[in-house]
A = this chain, B = another copy of it.
Amino acid sequence: METPLHHVVVVGAGFGGLHAVQKLKGAPVRITIVDRRNHHLFQPLLYQVATTSLATSEIAWPVRHLMARRKDVTTLLASVDGIDPAGKTVSFEDGGSVAYDTLILATGARHAYFGHDEWEPFAPGLKTLEDATTIRRRVLIAFERAEREADPQKRAALLTFVIIGAGPTGVELAGTIAELAHENLVEDFRAIDTRKSRVVLIEAGPRILPGFTEDLSAYAEKALERLGVEVRTGAPVTECSAEGVTFGGQVLPARTILWGAGVQASPAAQWLGAPADGVGRLLVEPDLTVPGHKDIFAVGDTVSIAGPDGAPVPGIAPAAKQEGVYVASVIKARLAGKPAPAPFHYRHVGSLATIGKRAAIADFGWIKVKGSFAWWLWGIIHIYFLIGLRNRLGVALSWLWIYLLGHRSARLITQGRQWAGEEKT
């Protein structure tokens, strides 16, 4: 009688989960990927969907199609709602379940409001394709309503776009919305001058892009200001409402507020009753297993672990990929009866952020670059990391049109219950 193959279940088809699956190729295992979405999402470019530059399908791929040739991999569309570590079973919201021999949790994170969940309706965040089409709809509707608004105060509030949080996502949103307002949309409106729109980037900390060195962060702030973005640092937000945002004691009337400030890990730690940090990220062992569960690994944004310099490993795609690859190597060593690999060691490849269509900053440790060279580098790297020639060509085409003509191809208001209904207040 043959022994059944060791069963690896991977929850979450983000960068971490898929890289683990990729590196398990050829290992004596069968693999099941579980995700509540049918697609892998290229999150680094999600803000471009939110700002009308790219179509949803240009940055998302059906997971089971990516795995079509991997006959050792089964893909399930299901939403996990619990784990039974004793019974070695993952349970689904709809009643189903799957048993595992080894479990990899790669369940990611959502945006969070620091205890102010009541702000969410007024200040949507950006983590899913639906978030992106929601933000796109709100931004475009604000211009549409301004075009029809006679009251100058209401019109000004409609043409004020506030982005809270100046990490890479906040900076990229602010830069692109400023370009939309101050360049791309100018010719299209008759009653309003979209160049008079205000784009305000609010950051509680002392400077934008705190993950970068001070000089790069200062350069990025100047580049944003050249695009017409008003940067407000050291200004924690104390209130978000349908009327606007309150920060540093002042009230700014604004009908569009976007949230790029905080993240909250998936409930993986709760499923296991395992120790977590303040935002719910699992505290894992040096081999990325969950304490007390040698057969459960965790990777990516749902994990809190220190890097070689003692600082936390950042919640970025390269970190998740490295963790996925590492976990696969541990599993392969175990199955081969080999000694465990050395503890996970994070190698920081570099940090990149882009500010509009002509400037970016990049810090590779051994070299720092900024300006238009960094911007080209950013574009080439992101196209390189897209999956498949089809999407590389598609994104390149979209970018070419924006670069040459300023035409953003996905300026669609969709999925609102009604154009003027849902977003009215």
Residues of chain A at interface, number, CB under 8 A: 57
Q: Mark A404-425, 1 if CB is under 8 A from B, else 0.
A: 0001011111110011100010
The answer on a CB contact under 8 Å between A64 and B189 is yes
Cross-chain contact B188 with A412 (CB below 8 angstroms): no
Contact with B along A378-418 (1 / 0, CB 8 A): 00000000000011011001000100000101111111001
Q: Mark A55-82, 1 if CB is under 8 A from B, else 0.
A: 1111010101101110100111111000
Q: B130 and A414: CB pair below 8 A?
A: yes
Which of chain B's residues have a CB closer than 8 A to the CB of A130? 414-415
Contact, CB under 8 Å: A148 / B39: no
Asked if A36 is an interface residue, CB under 8 A from chain B, the answer is yes
Task: Given A394-B394, A407-B390, answer yes or no on A57-B412 (Cβ-Cβ < 8 Å).
Answer: yes
Over the window 126-167 of chain A, the binary record of Cβ atoms lying under 8 Å from chain B Cβ atoms (1 yes, 0 no) is 000110010000001100110110000000000000000000
The answer to the question of A117 belonging to the interface, with a C-beta cut-off of 8 Å to chain B, is no
Partner of A65, one of B60, B74, B188, B393: B188
| Bound Cα distance from A56 to B68, whole angstroms | 25
| A338 located at the interface, meaning its Cβ lies under 8 Å from any Cβ of chain B in the complex | no
Contact with B along A334-370 (1 / 0, CB 8 A): 0000000000000000000000000000000000000
Inter-chain contact A419/B38, CB cutoff 8 Å = yes
CB neighbours (8 Å) of A36 from chain B are 418-419
Min C-beta distance of A383 to chain B, whole Å: 15
B411 pairs with A62, CB closer than 8 A = yes
Bound: A407/B388 CA distance, A: 11
A157 to B76, CA, bound (A): 19
Contact of A56 among B56, B76, B145, B397 (CB under 8 A): B56
| Contact between chains at B38 and A69 (CB < 8 Å) | no
A140: chain B residues at CB < 8 Å are: 38
At the interface, yes or no: A93 with Cβ under 8 Å from chain B? yes
Q: Provide the bound-state CA to CA distance between A56 and B418, in Å.
A: 18
- Taking Cβ atoms with an 8 Å cutoff, the residues of A that contact B are 36-39, 55-58, 60, 62, 64-65, 67-69, 71, 74-79, 93-94, 96, 129-130, 133, 140-141, 144-145, 147-148, 187-191, 390-391, 393-394, 397, 401, 407, 409-415, 418-420, 424
List 12 A–B pairs whose Cβ atoms lie within 8 Å, in order of A's numbering.
A38-B411, A56-B410, A62-B188, A62-B412, A65-B188, A67-B188, A74-B191, A75-B190, A77-B413, A78-B148, A390-B401, A394-B409
Q: A68-B187, A77-B141 are in contact. List 13 more A-B contacts (CB 8 A).
A: A38-B419, A39-B413, A57-B411, A57-B412, A68-B188, A76-B147, A77-B147, A78-B148, A79-B418, A130-B414, A390-B397, A393-B397, A394-B394
